[in-house]
Amino acid sequence: MSNCIFCQVARGEAPSWKVMESEHAYAFLDINPMNRYHTLIIPRQHYTDIFDIPERELQEVIALVRKVALLYEEKLGIRNIQIISNSGAEAQQDVFHLHFHIAPRHRGDGQQIHWNTHTEYRQEFDAMLEALK
């Protein structure tokens, strides 16, 4: 897509700070980082979200996620990371080009991801699994 900023990054038409790349995936520093070394990994081709990308290309994107994590471990000693991908507006996806965040974490970094738990859903587990059959 010509107006997709991540497509422009992948084509070299928008500035980026490349961390690593492969034939079908590209990793670069997030321009609005939550902390140091916050990295985005995208497929080079435009796919809106996890539901849109073919399996083989997703495998290459995920492989690059792991390679970036291993690079950060090897070069920086970073072993605490969050890997996040949001699919859909209600899941807080804001750029509609599939992407994964690698966010290195350390105690006192000021970042929080809070899960609101709903233990009442436990009583529905059997019905939930039945719906998936």
Our count of domains for the chain comes to 1
Kindly report, residue by residue over 18-38, the tens digit of the pLDDT.
999 999 999 999 999 999 999
Q: Where are the alpha helices (DSSP H) in the chain?
A: 5-10, 55-76, 125-131
Q: Which residue, among 24, 38, 31, has the nearest Cα to 98 in the 3D structure?
A: 24
Quote the domain boundaries for residue 49. Answer: 5-131
Distance, in Å, from the CA atom of 9 to the CA atom of 18, rounded to the nearest integer, reads: 10
Res. 1: pLDDT tops 80 = no
Res. 2: pLDDT tops 80 = no
120 vs 91, 96, 116, 117, 124, CA distance in Å?
A: 21, 33, 12, 9, 8
Q: What are 82's two structure tokens?
A: 């969050």
pLDDT for residue 42: 99
Which amino acids are annotated catalytic?
Answer: 99
Kindly report, residue by residue over 75-124, the tens digit of the pLDDT.
999 999 999 999 999 999 999 999 999 999 988 888 887 788 989 999 99
CB of 45 within 8 A of CB of 24?
Answer: yes
Q: What is the CATH number of the domain that holds 32?
A: 3.30.428.10
Q: What is the pTM of this model?
A: 0.90
